[in-house]
């Protein structure tokens, strides 16, 4: 290809952050290719291979839009629209106080954007009302790892370490469809017969354990915690634990022993449905793989399937406790980890989008943290607001008496992605002002008073932090359309109009340098990093073509070598007051929805290979729509026969909060008492219309993954939202 230029960057989707090389031809066409990288090994899934289609989406937003008196979104100039937004925000703050304005961010924003968004909320707007959609992603795992291990990083080890393990227990994650290149790291453990997958469905990932490659545990939905309590019971009862490790590196054994004592395998079988003999086999398999018993290593990994629950934090705590009993955490070749979902789910929660956090993963209630960050921002620490309220409560408060009257949305589509989504749309409609930054007219953008067109991954510079805590460079391959701006520019312009103190750069490298200073000394310390250093590390070819710089990576005194980063955590001690990990005792409560005469079937939700998150991006890619065009409900043959439905039939799922409609796919892989739907669609087939908004009391994670429904045949009805003609 003549006159072609190539740019190395990373896929815009999940936290695996597969490495891409984008080649731009003379005609402007962008072609992707995989490149060497430790996590993806040169591969990508179909979403990555088709990602350039997002750059030419036919309904790409290319100019600001303002809703007129006729109710239609119509074009406006940037100056006019920013003046309008600043004026409306200032008026609401004067009349109703700073907390009348709320901010809702996203786990797909770059580190630089996540940092500035938190700063914008607290400095330019003075509001405590800020949270983000990562509350639905990693909050339970974060809460559990913080209280047990003293630090939250999704994987405290490189993903490639899994390759040498003798056993891997994977709970609530369908890696084969959500992050397919990651499956390559399971080849060794499958060959050794040590892959254990817990999932109510015989998913693509569960199928990897077939034919002697491991064990598929198929628990009743919402009972994964019982499985973990039973495994810990066997480890203690059969004296499989690493006694020296537990004595030297943990605390709380007696309380944990009491908590798991009632969960002998035969009793657990009656609750979770997994045979007692299988639970014992699984516990012994993990123990045999542990280093203290001469094994090559073992890992316990959790994902959203067990975390998006009212007992998600406790379930992850039990997974960590099992790992600690076996002496896995903080040992090379073994460990516990949480599979991060969104592209920057890790970095997005480290730098200030969460309602209770400041940059560097600092607590907003810590006076020393407030003083440090305020000094970087050039404000008085007393001027910073305190903690706000988490996502579900924040969205429910919109437009209510005393609640926020304006909302700024960035990198998120809450009209589809939040449980009880029809209620969320009602709250959005009750606002005085809804401003949405997006690259396409998502369902949330179509409800907005103001829509601001912003850059996407191949049009911007910045950094992302992968599921391993690896800080990566995102690079611009092409220029954005003329009317499109970066959020950094938008926020700098708003801050100027609002008279905000401090500096507000729109240069991503300058913003990162400020982020690094603000994070210095924090749990997530990026102070030893910069765009230049990350570029140099990648150019050196270190670590198989990718940067080896994992946080924490603090700045070093002048004249000393740069800090090498921290790919593996907890090797010497845990960052807790006494240096020990905590064995946290927990109890099983089960899902908030009960089976009953009107809702006799469990509904579990998840993803499909072709789509991502709310589908706002992937549903605009023709190849992905062809692969998975419409919502469907997966039904076991016995349940299909009992309810009188057949493959391809249209059915209603009626839950405690509403109804969704989808086509049946008869599949013997799911349990006969359970149906499955993916959450990538809007409209009548949008499953979050009926998912549960009940939240975990520790993490405030909603129980998105399990609720109860009835299944009935339906007459023909539309099953997907029609977005055409919504914007002129």
Tell whether 207 and 258 lie within a shared domain: yes
Tell whether 619 and 701 lie within a shared domain: yes
According to the model, what pLDDT value does residue 718 have? 57
* Residue 40 resides in a domain: no
Q: 213: which 2 tokens?
A: 């490659």
Tell whether 217 and 291 lie within a shared domain: yes
Tell whether 372 and 472 lie within a shared domain: yes
* Residue 651 resides in a domain: yes
According to the model, what pLDDT value does residue 599 have? 96
Tell whether 362 and 329 lie within a shared domain: no
Residue that is last in its domain, among 487, 518, 549: 518
Angle between helix axes 224-237 and 312-325 (nearest 10 degrees) is: 20
According to the model, what pLDDT value does residue 629 have? 87
* Residue 682 resides in a domain: yes
According to the model, what pLDDT value does residue 190 have? 98
- Total of domains in the chain: 3
* Residue 561 resides in a domain: no
Query: Is 218:671 a contact under the CB 8 Å cutoff?
Result: yes
DSSP state letter for 298: E
CA distance between the termini of the chain: 38
Tell whether 416 and 509 lie within a shared domain: yes
Tell whether 71 and 214 lie within a shared domain: no
Residue that is last in its domain, among 324, 339, 354: 339
According to the model, what pLDDT value does residue 561 have? 86
Token pair 């006729």 in the structure block, residue: 70
Tell whether 362 and 456 lie within a shared domain: yes
649: containing domain: 601-713
Tell whether 368 and 490 lie within a shared domain: yes
According to the model, what pLDDT value does residue 37 have? 94
Minimal CA–CA distance to 172: which of 200, 145, 144? 200
The CATH number of residue 189's host domain is 3.40.228.10
* Residue 334 resides in a domain: yes
Tell whether 627 and 645 lie within a shared domain: yes
According to the model, what pLDDT value does residue 719 have? 57
According to the model, what pLDDT value does residue 559 have? 83
Helix boundaries (H) for 339-420: 345-348, 367-377, 391-397, 414-417
According to the model, what pLDDT value does residue 483 have? 96
Tell whether 80 and 148 lie within a shared domain: no
According to the model, what pLDDT value does residue 545 have? 43
pTM over 0.85, yes/no: yes
Query: Is 566:553 a contact under the CB 8 Å cutoff?
Result: yes
Q: In angstroms, rounded to a whole number, what is the distance separating the alpha carbons of residues 525 and 533?
A: 15
According to the model, what pLDDT value does residue 725 have? 33
The CATH number of residue 636's host domain is 2.40.40.20
* Residue 81 resides in a domain: yes
Predicted confidence (pLDDT) per residue in 599-622, tens digit = 999 999 999 999 999 999 999 999
Minimal CA–CA distance to 8: which of 621, 618, 539, 526? 539
* Residue 552 resides in a domain: no
Cross-strand partners of 632: 663
Cross-strand partners of 434: 407
According to the model, what pLDDT value does residue 715 have? 79
Tell whether 276 and 297 lie within a shared domain: yes
Question: How far is residue 428 CA from its own chain's centroid?
Answer: 23
Residues of the chain with pLDDT under 70: 1-3, 541-548, 716-728
The CATH number of residue 423's host domain is 3.40.50.740
In order, the DSSP letters of 555-620 are ---TTSPPP---SS--SS--SSTTS-EE---------SS---SS--EEEEEE--TT--TTSTTGGG
Angle between helix axes 508-519 and 531-539 (nearest 10 degrees) is: 100
625-660 burial code (b ≥16 CB/10 A, e <16): bebbeebbbbbbeebbeebebeeebbbbbbbbbbbb
Residue that is last in its domain, among 339, 363, 382: 339
According to the model, what pLDDT value does residue 558 have? 86
Q: In angstroms, rounded to a whole number, what is the distance separating the alpha carbons of residues 388 and 354?
A: 9
According to the model, what pLDDT value does residue 538 have? 85
* Residue 398 resides in a domain: yes
Burial of 2 (0-12, 13-18, 19+ CB in 10 A): exposed
Reduced to 3 states (helix: H, G, I; strand: E, B; else coil), residue 96 is helix
């Amino acid at each position: 290809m003549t006159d072609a230029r190539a740019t190395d960057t990373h896929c815009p989707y999940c936290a695996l952050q597969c490495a891409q090389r984008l080649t731009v031809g003379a005609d402007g066409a962008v072609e992707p290719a995989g490149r060497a990288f430790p996590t993806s090994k040169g591969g990508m899934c179909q979403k990555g291979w088709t990602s350039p289609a997002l750059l030419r989406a036919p309904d790409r937003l290319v100019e600001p839009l303002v809703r007129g008196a006729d109710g239609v979104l119509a074009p406006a100039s940037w100056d006019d629209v920013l003046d309008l937004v600043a004026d409306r925000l200032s008026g609401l703050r004067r009349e109703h106080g700073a907390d009348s304005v709320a901010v809702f961010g996203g786990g797909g924003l770059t580190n630089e954007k996540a940092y500035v968004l938190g700063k914008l909320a607290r400095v330019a707007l003075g509001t405590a009302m800020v949270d983000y959609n990562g509350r639905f992603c990693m909050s339970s795992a974060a809460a559990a790892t913080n209280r047990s291990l003293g630090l939250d990083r999704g994987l405290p080890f490189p993903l490639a370490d899994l390759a040498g393990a003798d056993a891997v227990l994977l709970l609530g994650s369908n890696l084969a469809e959500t992050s397919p290149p990651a499956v390559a790291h399971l080849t060794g453990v499958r060959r050794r017969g040590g892959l254990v997958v817990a999932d109510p469905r015989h998913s693509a990932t569960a199928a990897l354990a077939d034919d002697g490659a491991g064990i598929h545990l198929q628990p009743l939905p919402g009972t994964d915690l019982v499985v973990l309590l039973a495994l810990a019971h066997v480890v203690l009862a059969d004296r499989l634990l690493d006694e020296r490790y537990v004595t030297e590196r943990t605390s709380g054994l007696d309380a944990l022993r009491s908590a798991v004592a009632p969960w002998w395998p035969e009793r657990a079988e009656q609750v979770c449905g997994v045979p007692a003999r299988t639970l014992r086999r699984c516990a012994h398999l993990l123990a045999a793989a542990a280093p203290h018993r001469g094994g090559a290593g073992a890992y316990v990994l959790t994902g959203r399937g067990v975390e998006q629950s009212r007992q998600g934090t406790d379930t992850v705590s039990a997974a960590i406790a099992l790992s600690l009993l076996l002496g896995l955490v903080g040992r090379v070749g073994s460990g516990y980890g949480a599979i991060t979902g969104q592209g920057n789910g890790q970095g997005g929660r480290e730098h200030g989008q969460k309602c209770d956090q400041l940059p560097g993963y600092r607590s907003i209630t810590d006076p020393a943290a407030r003083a440090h960050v305020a000094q970087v921002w050039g404000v008085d620490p007393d001027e910073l607001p305190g903690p706000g309220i988490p996502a579900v409560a924040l969205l429910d408060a919109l437009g209510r008496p005393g609640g926020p009257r304006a909302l700024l949305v960035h990198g998120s589509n809450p009209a589809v992605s939040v449980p009880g989504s029809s209620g969320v749309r009602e709250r959005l409609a009750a606002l005085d002002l809804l401003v949405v930054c997006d690259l396409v007219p998502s369902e949330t953008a179509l409800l907005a008073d103001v829509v601001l067109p912003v850059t996407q991954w191949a049009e911007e510079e910045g950094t992302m932090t992968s599921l391993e805590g690896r800080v990566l460079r995102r690079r611009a391959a092409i220029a954005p359309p003329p009317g499109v701006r970066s959020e950094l520019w938008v926020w700098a312009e708003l801050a100027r109009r609002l008279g905000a103190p401090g500096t507000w750069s729109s240069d991503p490298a300058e913003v990162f340098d400020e982020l690094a200073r603000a994070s210095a000394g924090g749990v997530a310390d990026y102070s030893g990093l910069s765009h230049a250093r990350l570029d140099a590390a990648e150019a050196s070819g270190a670590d198989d073509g990718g940067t080896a710089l994992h946080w924490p990576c603090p700045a070093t005194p002048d004249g000393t070598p740069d800090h090498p980063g921290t790919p593996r955590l907890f090797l010497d001690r845990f960052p807790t007051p006494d240096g020990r990990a905590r064995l946290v005792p927990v109890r099983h409560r089960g899902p908030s929805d009960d089976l009953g005469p009107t809702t006799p079937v469990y509904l579990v939700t998840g993803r499909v290979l072709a789509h991502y998150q709310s589908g706002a991006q992937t549903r605009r890619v023709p190849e992905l729509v062809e692969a998975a065009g419409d919502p469907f409900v997966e039904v076991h043959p016995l349940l299909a026969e009992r309810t009188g439905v057949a493959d391809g039939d249209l059915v209603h799922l009626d839950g405690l909060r509403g109804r969704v409609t989808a086509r049946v796919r008869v599949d013997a892989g799911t349990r006969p008492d359970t149906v499955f739907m993916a959450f990538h669609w809007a409209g009548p087939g949008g499953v979050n219309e009926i998912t549960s908004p009940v939240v975990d009391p520790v993490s405030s994670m909603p129980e998105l993954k399990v609720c109860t429904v009835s299944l009935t045949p339906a007459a023909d009805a539309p099953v997907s939202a029609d977005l055409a003609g919504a914007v002129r």
